[in-house]
Amino acid sequence: MLEGSEIIDQGSKNDIYLPARSSLADDPGDERILLVTECLGAFLFVCLGGMVIAVTGDVEAEEMSCVRAVVIALTDGFLYYAIIYVTMKMSRGKGVYFNPALAVALTVQNLYLNVKPTIVVDLVRLLKTTLVQFFGSCVGAAMVYMVVPRALDGLEKTGVASPNFGETDGEAFLLEIFLTFILTIVILNVRRNEERKSSIVIGFCFVSLRLFSLPLTGSTMNPARAFGHSVVGGAFDDYWIFFFGPCIGAVLGAVTWLSISSKF
């Protein structure tokens, strides 16, 4: 069984986040770059993804048809791949995929691996990273409504996530936990790979999860993305599902991955 330090020694310590207690802890400039890239990534993902949802909503008269679901899922996957690749390059491999839930998961990973342990520093940086992600998401959602005609004519077209097709709140909550659990395990497994390879794997995983779950809940797997659309769309009734669900799923994924990794 490997201890935490042995797991780290198998890969680059600089690949461990949050937010890397190695170089980032000593270089405020690197931390600023990380925060900027996280904000930029959230903005681009929410803005471009939201535009696809709004435009296809016009074409399909707001119905979540099979064609519309496939177009949205594929577009989201390609966007996720491209933006992750660029932001990870810019942040020198220390990004958290512009997702607060994944930031929480990677914080759990760091605390378990015990890299220069300072819990307060970790939590402060987690808070700063999450705040810039929420801000970027809000700006991205606002851009959708400024650019796409009639984007506010119906929540189905705005990207506001909510249970559909008879899904209860409890079922939607469990689904968000499950989806983020799978996404977290995949990301932790490929995180140390070269950026392009890991980005492709993450993109394909994201497409697969979105394809079957999009009609049911909107499947954000990202509290920041759901927050931006909810703020601009003025719809918070179901937001608790898309905040707590992904966070719980990400923590469970991190704990599961760490438990499995320690066996090899």
pLDDT at 51: 86
DSSP assignment of 188-241, as one string?
Answer: HHHTTS-HHHHHHHHHHHHHHHHHHHHHHH-----HHHHHHHHHHHT--TTHHH
DSSP state of 150: T
The residue whose two tokens read 């519309």 is 68
pLDDT bin (cut points 50, 70, 90) of residue 19 is very low
Q: What angle do CA 213, 215, 221 make, to 5 degrees?
A: 45
- Closest CA relative to residue 176, chosen from 236, 125, 252: 252
Domain range summary for the chain, segments of one domain joined by +:
4-261
With the C-alpha atoms ordered 163, 165, 170, 174, is the resulting torsion angle positive or negative? negative
- Which distant-in-sequence residues (6+ apart) come within 8 Å of 69 by Cβ? 211, 214, 215
- Closest CA relative to residue 259, chosen from 194, 209, 188: 188
DSSP assignment of 16-34, as one string?
Answer: --SS-TTHHHH-HHHHHHH
Average pLDDT of the residues in 2-14: 42
Q: Measured between alpha carbons, how far is 181 from 208 in angstroms, rounded to an integer? A: 14
In Å, what is the CA distance from 262 to each residue of 2, 4, 37? 5, 8, 31
Q: Measured between alpha carbons, how far is 177 from 253 in angstroms, rounded to an integer? A: 9
Does residue 11 or residue 58 have the better pLDDT? Answer: 58
Three-state SS at 2: coil
Average pLDDT of the residues in 250-262: 90
**What pLDDT digit, counting tens, does each position of 233-242 carry?**
787 888 999 9
pLDDT at 122: 75
The answer to whether the beta carbons of residues 161 and 238 sit under 8 Å apart is yes
pLDDT at 248: 97
Pair of tokens at residue 259: 């438990």
CA 25 to chain centre: 23
pLDDT at 17 exceeding the cut of 50: no
- Asked if the 4-261 domain carries CATH number 1.10.940.10, the reply is no
**What pLDDT digit, counting tens, does each position of 134-165 carry?**
999 999 999 988 887 666 555 454 567 777 76
